[in-house]
């Protein structure tokens, strides 16, 4: 890091700059989301250069980032790194460049808002909150809506397929790129309490899992009564999801992707803000939320067994949950990149 992705932008319709946070510990979901957005911009004929930053030291390496006065600037940084987010905005948007003609779009989470920290003269900033329903914000400079999440072309293909739920049998465990709170291991231990039948379980190993954590997962799998297969999802995540009747996951981007594709899922979270989003998906019938991992193993296990025992043999419920998930994103057929371009043209 930093990493820059994208071709030169000669003869392109619009010049797009994308900044996201990514490191060896956090940010894999942000990188995936921003890469999906970049892909959407490419589909419009625009050029989008994506750059990752991991620390304030990276800012000095990107002094020329806005030298070409891009049409649209999109910033998507993890809320854990709010200081880095502020530094990036001040460095690039206020101190570093003349970008009065650029449209600046900032993905802003409800956990930490930066709008009051930006100099008042920056009038060309729009905040995007993809964690709430459209129209739920009363701020004139904020757009809200779950369909502000950019989805890749691969996911769009998964969403368009016809699912035969009677042929789905495997359970997938997919808890992000790093799984810092070891939710994958917790799911394995909870699954071992289900002894009605042997399950086919696919365990996704994130690209940022440590060797020590992988060893712990393998050890837990050997002690488990179920058939567990470990996979690296780098190029096969969507194939894993398509073959699964249920996915066990945590917070982050995966929940939105699963609901968008019509795949039922169960969540355990480690963050109160993530709990809010997971509860929203559960209330809409797209998933089942076990709760926060601080509830403890025994409580989570009881909740899981109550739901899972009935769910695993009910293909009608699986189909309905998948349908409910798709309905949440019924307005997502128009790509987020296209909406951003329309915002730029309509200013």
Task: Confirm if 177 and 207 have CB atoms less than 8 A apart.
Answer: yes
Give the pLDDT of residue 200.
93
Residues of the chain short of pLDDT 70, as ranges, are 1-13, 23-27, 55-68, 78-100, 108-123, 134-140, 233-237, 332-333, 347
What pLDDT, in 10s, does the model give residues 181-193?
999 999 999 999 9
Instruction: Report the distance separating Cα 98 and Cα 67, nearest Å.
Output: 8
CA angle 56, 253, 87 (to 5 degrees): 15
Closest CA to 60 of 96, 15, 106: 96
Give the pLDDT of residue 4.
47
Instruction: Report the distance separating Cα 231 and Cα 217, nearest Å.
Output: 12
DSSP per-residue codes, 234-245:
TTTHHHHHHTEE
**CA–centroid distance for 71 within its chain:** 25
Q: How many CA atoms lie within 13 A of 282 on its CB side?
A: 14
CA of 215: how far to CAs of 60, 178, 185, 236, 250, in Å?
A: 38, 14, 11, 22, 20
Give the pLDDT of residue 176.
82
Give the pLDDT of residue 347.
61
Task: Confirm if 245 and 165 have CB atoms less than 8 A apart.
Answer: yes
Give the pLDDT of residue 273.
76
- Read off the pTM: 0.81
Instruction: Report the distance separating Cα 56 and Cα 49, nearest Å.
Output: 20
Give the pLDDT of residue 1.
36
The two three-digit tokens of residue 44, written as one number: 């419009």
């Amino acid at each position: 890091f930093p990493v820059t992705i994208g071709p030169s932008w000669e003869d392109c319709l619009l010049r797009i700059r994308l900044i996201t946070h990514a490191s060896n510990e956090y940010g894999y979901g942000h990188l995936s989301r921003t890469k999906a957005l970049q892909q959407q911009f490419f589909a419009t004929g625009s050029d989008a250069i994506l750059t990752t930053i991991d620390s304030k030291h990276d800012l000095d390496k990107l002094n020329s980032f806005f030298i070409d006065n891009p049409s649209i600037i999109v910033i998507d940084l993890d809320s854990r790194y709010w200081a880095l987010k502020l530094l990036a905005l001040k460095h690039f948007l206020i101190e570093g460049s003349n970008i009065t003609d650029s449209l600046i779009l900032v993905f802003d989470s409800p956990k930490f808002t930066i709008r009051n920290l930006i100099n008042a003269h920056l009038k060309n900033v729009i905040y995007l909150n993809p964690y709430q329903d459209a129209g739920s914000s009363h701020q004139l400079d904020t757009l809200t809506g779950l369909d502000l999440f950019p989805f890749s072309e691969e996911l769009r293909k998964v969403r368009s397929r016809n699912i035969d739920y009677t042929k789905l049998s495997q359970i997938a465990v997919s808890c992000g790129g790093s799984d810092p709170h070891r939710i994958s291991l917790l799911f394995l231990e909870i699954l071992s309490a289900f002894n009605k039948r042997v399950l086919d379980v696919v365990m996704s190993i994130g690209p940022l899992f440590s060797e020590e954590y992988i060893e712990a997962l393998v050890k837990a799998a050997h002690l488990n009564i179920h058939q567990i297969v470990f996979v690296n999802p780098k190029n096969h995540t969507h194939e894993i999801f398509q073959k699964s009747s249920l996915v066990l996951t945590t917070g982050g981007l995966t929940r939105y992707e699963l609901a968008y594709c019509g795949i039922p899922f169960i969540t355990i979270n480690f963050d109160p803000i993530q709990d809010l989003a997971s509860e929203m998906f559960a209330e809409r019938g797209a998933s089942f939320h076990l709760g926060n991992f601080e509830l403890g193993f025994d409580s989570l296990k009881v909740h899981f067994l109550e739901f899972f025992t009935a769910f695993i043999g009910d293909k009608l419920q699986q189909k309905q949950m998948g349908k409910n998930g798709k309905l949440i994103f019924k307005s997502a057929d128009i790509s987020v990149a296209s909406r951003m371009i329309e915002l730029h043209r309509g200013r």
